[in-house]
Chain A
Amino acid sequence: MMNVSASSAPLPTPRWVHRFACVLAGLTFVLIVFGGTVKSLEAGLSVPDWPLSYGQPGAAIAGGLLLATLALALGWLFTKKKLFAILAILAGSALAGTYYLFGPPGWYTIQSVRAEHSHRLLAGTVGFLTAILAACVWETDRRRGVRRLALAALLAVIVQAVLGGLTVRYGLPPWVSAAHGALAQAFFAMVCALAALSSPNWFGAEPLPQEPAQAGRKPLYKLGGWMVGAIYLQIMLGTAVRHSPYDPEASGNALFWWHFAAHAAGFLFVAHTVAKAVVQTLKRHGERPRLTRPALSVAGLLVVQVGLGVGILVFRLLAPAHYEANAPKEIVATAHVAVGGLALVGALFFTLRAWRLLPPDAARAGAAVPLAARSAS
């Protein structure tokens, strides 16, 4: 695990950076819901060109403005002149406005085009804000691991944009679309981790007394790590199922059913890791809601997720064809994607919190330094 403890006595990240990361995490969640809706409506190709939209230059103008914004942000970074910051914000606002003004004609009146174009607009906004957040974290946070995480998030959002473009330009190749869906959740987790690691609670938390060593007993953060890994693997399998070709009127659909079998088996693995983490947390720290709450939340989300998964399967098997508007089917499928993302973030929060409150021995000495002392140093 990266070095995010206070072993090198980092200064707390400014509160506004934490709030900024929280806002970005919220927007990213909405973006995931939008992306899930695009897939549920099979609207991915309803805007067939990229980066333009029906030949409209919105995205191209936005590209120019994005470069201008980045250049101005760099100017501010190197010179610290407020003028650059103001101009960067103005260029960024114009960027957002451009996206909205130069869309395809009447895009908001057609369901599928509205879904796809809104997804692109919000994705542009999230990408832009991620660049700003990465710069802010880089400038204000002294922890190497956190700064790298911010850059990784920036890189992830760029790769995500390119994958999104490739899905459109190459007619939704299933593996590119699946990678786009899986990377979205990883990016969401990264932004949420940035929010958690810049939180005042993170700096204010003081480690609990060390747990007595017992043979074969794993630390909670390791159990959390297994949970995060299992859930993410399950998300990847889920995106493979979601993007596998499936024709309700054709026989076979072998690829879909293979992916589905792997996804169903993956659930057992996830359930095992979640159950283990929950039981051990309740057993060892049942009186500490800061640990039990995230663990139980993940378990609750898992139950909801199973229900939604069964719902999707029922709708898939019953639905005669995709062209028939079927709001419940679309809502259930999108909710399954959203709840999967929340479960991943819940498991990540649990892991980070367990690591912060019950750190490994090597990090314990530094983590024990209280906030006030670190701030003063």
Chain B
Amino acid sequence: MNHVRASKWTVLVALGMVVGLLLSGCGGGVMPPRAKKISRGEEKKTEDASGGAGEAMTQGSDSFPEDKATCSLKGLIKLGGKTPKMLKVDISPDPKCAAKQPEGGLFLETIVVSETGELANVIVYVTKGVEKYRFDPPSKPIEVDQVGCRYIPHAFGMMAGQKLLIKNADPTLHNVKADLDGAPLFNIAQTPDKEDEKSVDDQGVLKMVCNVHPWMSAFARVLPHPFHATSDKKGEFAFERKLPPGAYTLTTWHEKLKPTTLEVELKDGESKSVEITLSAK
């Protein structure tokens, strides 16, 4: 019967479409659209997540004079104004997180401030003074672990081109979704004890979140040079690498607070300590 034969062929074509569409949905890993890679000497405007003014970060071609780098820089970050209340997180949706909950509960790390006003998780970095030098990214990756359903560290600086080693020490599932200046970078699944190494090639603000545990977030300021430090719970920071004598502009980055800048003059062999106060809204 023609009618029946035609119907069978139509079913066949429809099923072919099913298979085709299913196959089209499969394939390799997804790489969402990314911003163009910034090459050396090229400028890039970076908007701070906190809504601060954009800034130009450049990298020159001169070799860094290691033999002249005799100045060390450290400091203290304080929070001015009214201390905001730290929000407690409800981690009951994942019992495995709840089991590892610290005494007194888990608090959001948006603003971590001591009773005396010392502020943690502020990234301090050089914005002027080293732009004529060229730096190669360190071969050692930056490690970010997930412990007790929070990222450790929560905020850090790193160099463009440096690797990021993401670990999962938790006995639960995590995903790590990363954006660089709002542009999707990667989104990976992490079962317990899994490790992934990712490359961050461009400058900007790297934000990592876990959609399984929405309170989890971590931030990195990706820079063209290694002169950065992050304040600890006592509000203290110290640059790991020494700088040559000269004038420098320091800038702060915090996920919630507006950036501030500070001019410093370093003399040969000097060990300078600065104090920076950020204001709460």
Interface residues of A (CB under 8 A from B): 42-51, 53-55, 63, 66-67, 70, 74, 77-78, 104-107, 109-113, 131, 134-135, 138-139, 147, 151, 154-155, 158-159, 161-162, 165-166, 169-171, 320-325
Contact = CB atoms under 8 A, between A and B. Distances in A.
A316 B34 CA distance: 31
B191 A104 contact: yes
Interface in B8-24: 8, 10-12, 14-15, 17-19, 21-22, 24
A161 B25 contact: yes
Contact of A54 (B12, B96, B191): B191
Nearest to A63: B22
A165 B173 contact: no
Interface string B96-136: 10000000000010000000000000000000000000000
Contacts of A106: 96, 172-173
A323 B14 contact: no
Contact of A42 (B8, B12, B191, B214): B214
A292 to B, nearest CB: 39
B1 interface: no
Contacts of B94: 109-111
B22 to A, nearest CB: 6
B112 to A, nearest CB: 16
A74 B215 CA distance: 49
A352 to B, nearest CB: 24
Contacts of B96: 106, 109-110
A325 B90 contact: yes
A75 to B, nearest CB: 12
Contact of B24 (A147, A151, A162): A162
A45 B214 CA distance: 10
Nearest to B172: A110
A323 B32 contact: no
A48 to B, nearest CB: 4
Interface string B170-188: 0011010100000010011
B93 A112 contact: yes
B274 interface: no
A154 B187 CA distance: 31
Given A45-B175, A48-B175, A161-B25, A112 B17 contact: no
20 contacts: A43-B211, A45-B187, A49-B189, A63-B22, A67-B19, A77-B8, A104-B173, A105-B173, A110-B212, A111-B94, A112-B212, A112-B213, A158-B21, A161-B22, A162-B24, A165-B25, A166-B25, A321-B87, A324-B90, A325-B90
Nearest to A53: B189
Given A74-B15, A105-B191, A161-B22, 20 more contacts: A43-B211, A43-B212, A48-B177, A49-B189, A54-B191, A63-B26, A67-B19, A77-B8, A106-B172, A106-B173, A110-B173, A112-B214, A139-B7, A151-B14, A154-B14, A155-B14, A158-B17, A159-B21, A321-B87, A324-B87
Given A77-B11, A171-B32, A171-B177, A54 B189 contact: yes
Most buried by A among B17, B25, B108, B177: B25
A139 B11 CA distance: 9
B154 to A, nearest CB: 15
Most buried by B among A131, A169, A323: A323
B136 to A, nearest CB: 31
A165 B90 CA distance: 30
Contacts of B11: 74, 77, 135, 138
Contact of A323 (B19, B89, B172): B89
Nearest to B191: A54
Most buried by B among A44, A70, A158, A322: A158
A158 B18 contact: yes
B216 to A, nearest CB: 9
Given A48-B189, A74-B15, A111-B93, A66 B211 contact: no
A70 B18 contact: yes
Contacts of B8: 77-78
A66 B22 contact: yes
A134 B226 CA distance: 62
A234 B177 CA distance: 32
Given A106-B96, A109-B94, A169-B30, A323 B215 contact: yes
Contacts of A42: 211, 214
Contact of B187 (A48, A55, A77, A323): A48
A43 B188 CA distance: 15
Contacts of B21: 158-159, 161-162
A45 B191 contact: no
A77 B22 CA distance: 22
Nearest to B185: A171
A135 B92 CA distance: 45
A102 B90 CA distance: 29
Given A42-B214, A77-B11, A323-B215, A171 B90 contact: no
A245 to B, nearest CB: 11
A45 B32 CA distance: 14
B91 to A, nearest CB: 9
Contact of B211 (A50, A51, A112): A112
A324 B88 CA distance: 9
